[in-house]
Each structure stands twice: as C-alpha cells, then as structure tokens.
Amino acid sequence: MTSDRRHATLILAAVAIVAGLAGAAAGIGEPLLADQGTNVGKLFAMNTAGGLLTIGVGTLALASGLLRKPVLEALAGLGFLAAAGLTLLGVGRSFNYLGGRGNTLCLFLMLGIGLVALALSPQVRADEA
Amino acid sequence: MDIGLVNEEARAIRVDGALPRAAIAGVRILVGLLWLSNLSWKTPPDFRTLERFTQWGVDRPVFAPFSAVIERVILPHMAFFGYVTLITEASLGAFLLLGLATRFWAVVGMIMTATIALTVINAPHEWSWAYYMMFAAHAALWASAAGRCFGLDGLLRAGWIRSDLAPIRLLGRAS
C-alpha cells in the first residue's frame, strides 16, 4: 500500500467514523432499530444500529490503513457495500434495519466502492510510472 | 516572432497549481453533495413524491415526445423507474464524491440533468437556470477530468491504464 493510497484509506475511514458517530448520537433516545433513522443535517439518516455499524466498519478501514493491509480494506469495503444493499432493500419498508434513506445508500456506496477500488486497483511502482 | 506560438502560449491554461486543483475538486465535491442531499425524498416502494414531480412532465410538457414517454412508459411503471432514479443518483453522488471514473459519471450527470429538466422545467416555482447551471457544472467536471484533482482517479489511474485487463483499462478511459 503506497502512502498516497494509505492517506486516501485513512480519509475514507475518518469520514465513516465521523458519520457513524453523528448518526449514533442523533439516534440517542430512539429505538436501536428504528426503521426511520434520525436525519444528520440534510446529508443522511440512520438509526443507532446504523451508526454503530458504520463506526465498526470504519474502524476496520482505519486499521487497514494503519497496518497497511489491503485485505482488511477490501473487507471493510465489502461491509459498506453490504450495508448499501441492506439500505436499498429496506428503505421505506418495515425491515429498514439501519434506518437509512436514499442519501444513506449514497454514503455507504461511496465508502464501499472507494475502499474496494483502493484495495483492488493495480499498483504502479515509481520506476514504472 | 511566431504569432502562432504567441497565441498558443496566451491560450494555455495552467491548472497544475494547488489552488486551481482545489477549486476543481471543490466543484466536484459540491456536485456530488447535490446528488446525495436530493435523495432523501426519493423513497421506495411507491416513490410518491417523485411520481408527483414526474407528473409535471405531462401536465406542463416541455418537449411533447418526451411527455408522451413519461405518460405511457414511465408513470405506469413508476416503481421500476423510481429504483432506476434512486440507484443512478446514489451512484452519481458516490462516484463524484470519490472522484472515481469521474468523466463517465459527469456524462451520466449531464444526461440525468437533461432528463430532469425535460420533466420539470415548466413546473410552477422551478428556476430553469438551476438546470442549465447543473448541466454546465457536469460539463466542467468532464472537461477538467475533475477526479484527477484530489480524487481517486488521480491516485489509481496510472495502474488502470497499464493493466492487462480490458475492463480495468476502461476505467482509465472513464477517468
């Protein structure tokens, strides 16, 4: 993992952890699995479970960047893509376990696709470039 | 003095400085946030609010053939087109925020903007210039290959264009 890629991973991990903390904090006092999560500004919505999951997977992404482990990075990316799938299936329905909306789907997609792209894209050595 | 060379020099654009690159990245991120923030009301399974907006394309037509498509194809299958809209706009937000395959997604953004404008531009209280500016912003992202400024395209593109796999090389072209 090059240092540029590591920085990008750490930025995505930080975005995830901050979003998760904001989502979990906004959901305090609401049911853990409320099917309509609380809005965080006008950016996204999630319930406490969604916030905790985002913090957990974001921490995995953070560990992948700190330890320079692309496998962990890919796993974190797949975790966010699974969250995006769960949100797409659940939004507007009673089994919306993460309390997300369309914009939460966008957030999870961004984190998942970004981490998977960083983990799987071929690397170029400096002498090849 | 070669006038051709002087003109060429005068027309040259320098975007390699930190400030121009940050400005390009800023526009890209703002456009990504625009798509993200407008997803909150596109709610399955019936997409009722989206359907109400789509109905304006029939009640206040912008372009008669497109209005006929809305009436006969889109509105009767609103759930399907609602999901297409939701997934496309969520992807637009995600890819533009990341700066990944940015030129491809900027073109998708232009198509999506044109589609929305052809549906609602004549609706009450709509400001038509918003759609012209939205289209122009995507055109600028395409023209400046905005993902190469503080985006994943700039970070990963060298590996994509040297890859032996055609789909990966395609990412290089889309960036």
pLDDT digits (tens, 9 = 90+) for B126-163: 999 999 999 999 999 999 999 999 999 999 999 999 99
The mean per-residue pLDDT over the stretch B24-47 comes to 96
Q: Select the residue from A10, A44, A88, A106 to test the B interface by mutation, using most B Cβ atoms within 10 A.
A: A106
User: Using an 8 Å Cβ cutoff, are B148 and B157 in contact?
Assistant: yes
Helix (H, G, I), strand (E, B) or coil at A46: strand
A94: distance to nearest CA of chain B, Å?
A: 11
- Residues A88, B89: C-beta atoms closer than 8 Å: no
Q: Contact A102/B86, CB-based, under 8 Å?
A: yes
Window 62-101 of A: residues touching B by CB (8 A cutoff) are 88, 91-93, 101
Which position has the token pair 């329905």? A93
Contact (CB<8Å) B159/A122: yes
pTM, 2 dp: 0.94
pLDDT in tens, B74-120: 999 999 999 999 999 999 999 999 999 999 999 999 999 999 999 99
Angle formed at CA B30 by CA B29 and CA B35, multiple of 5 degrees: 95
Residues contacting A68, CB < 8 A, separation 6+: A1, A6
The answer, for A31 touching chain B at a CB cutoff of 8 Å, is: no
Name the token pair of B128.
């038509």
Answer yes or no: is pLDDT of A129 > 70. Answer: no
Whole-number Å distance between alpha carbons of B152 and B147:
6
User: How much is the pLDDT for B2?
Assistant: 73
Cα separation, A83 vs A77, in Å, equals: 10
- How close are the terminal C-alpha atoms of chain B, in Å? 38
Closest CA to B135 of B122, B117, B159: B117
How many residues does this entry show for chain B? 175
For B37, the closest chain A residue by CA position comes to: A43
Answer whether residue A127 shows pLDDT above 90.
no
pLDDT surpasses 90 at B30: yes
